[in-house]
Amino acid sequence: MGNSKSGAISKEILEDLKMSTKYSEQELTQWYDMFRKQCPDGRISRAEFEKIYEKFFPNSDAKTYAQHVFRSFDANGDGTLDFREYIIALHLTSSGKTALKLEWAFSLFDVDRNGYISKNEVLEITKAIFKLIPEDDHDLLPDDENTPEKRADKLWGYFGKGENDKLAEGEFISGVMENDNALRLIQYEPMKK
């Protein structure tokens, strides 16, 4: 994606990231230096990305979720994240605007990348999210969402779709923005009883 092999971030990528994120030139340069130290070849593999997620969720099984997150950010589908993809991922998941986060969430749930979400895809991601919830917290979940299947059913119900219907990106974003419970259900945090 045009990352410089000389050790410095290219001006083109720097300008693009300054416009696409909230990060300053100094912050991006610091991020780039750290990225190059950890990834001298300028790319993060899926396995390396999974290890990063495991550090964020030490008491959970984060591998499956990390694989889905990685897929959603591997924009060019080459099996690695370059610096630009990595920073966009960091920005969207930590500080992006709600609409941008929901665009990313849609790409996360669109497992087969066909531009629509099915109930089966909701269940697949819900299972991955459920693995992030520490075992000790499972009994704190409300009865109507204490399994991945119940949680997926509840979320799918907010969109008013049938079992075999598909959900387009605009429907997903507006449906989640109109319902705080739907927003909570697409995240990994459990709602305590």
- pLDDT tens-place string over residues 109-130: 999 999 999 999 999 999 998 8
In the chain, the percentage of residues whose pLDDT exceeds 90 is 46
- The reported pLDDT for the residue numbered 2 is 41
Mean pLDDT on 152-156: 94
Print the domain residue range for 28. Answer: 11-94
Rounded Cα distance, 107 and 170, in Å: 12
74 and 102 assigned to the same domain: no
Task: Please identify, among 33, 60, 94, the residue that sits at the C-terminal boundary of a domain.
Answer: 94
The SS3 assignment for 187 reads: coil
| N-terminal to C-terminal alpha carbon distance within the chain | 46
Task: Answer whether residue 69 is part of any domain.
Answer: yes
Least confident interval from 46-55, 137-146, 152-161, 172-181: 137-146
165 and 134 assigned to the same domain: yes
Rounded Cα distance, 152 and 23, in Å: 35
80 and 144 assigned to the same domain: no
Q: pLDDT grade, residue 184 (50/70/90)?
A: confident
* Statement: residue 147 has pLDDT above 80: yes
Task: Please identify, among 94, 127, 149, the residue that sits at the C-terminal boundary of a domain.
Answer: 94
What's this model's pTM, rounded to 2 decimal places? Answer: 0.79
Rounded Cα distance, 153 and 126, in Å: 10
The distance from CA 183 to its chain's CA centroid, rounded to whole angstroms, is: 14
Task: Please identify, among 94, 111, 140, the residue that sits at the C-terminal boundary of a domain.
Answer: 94
Structural domain count of the chain: 2
Least confident interval from 57-61, 92-96, 151-155, 183-187: 92-96
Give me the CATH number covering residue 114. 1.10.238.10
- The reported pLDDT for the residue numbered 6 is 52
Task: Answer whether residue 38 is part of any domain.
Answer: yes
28 and 105 assigned to the same domain: no
90 and 16 assigned to the same domain: yes
135 and 63 assigned to the same domain: no
CB-CB contact of 131 with 137 (8 Å): no
Q: pLDDT grade, residue 145 (50/70/90)?
A: confident
63 and 118 assigned to the same domain: no
Residue 93's Cβ-side half-sphere holds a number of Cα atoms within 13 Å equal to: 17
* Statement: residue 187 has pLDDT above 80: no
106 and 181 assigned to the same domain: yes
137 and 159 assigned to the same domain: yes
Rounded Cα distance, 144 and 150, in Å: 6
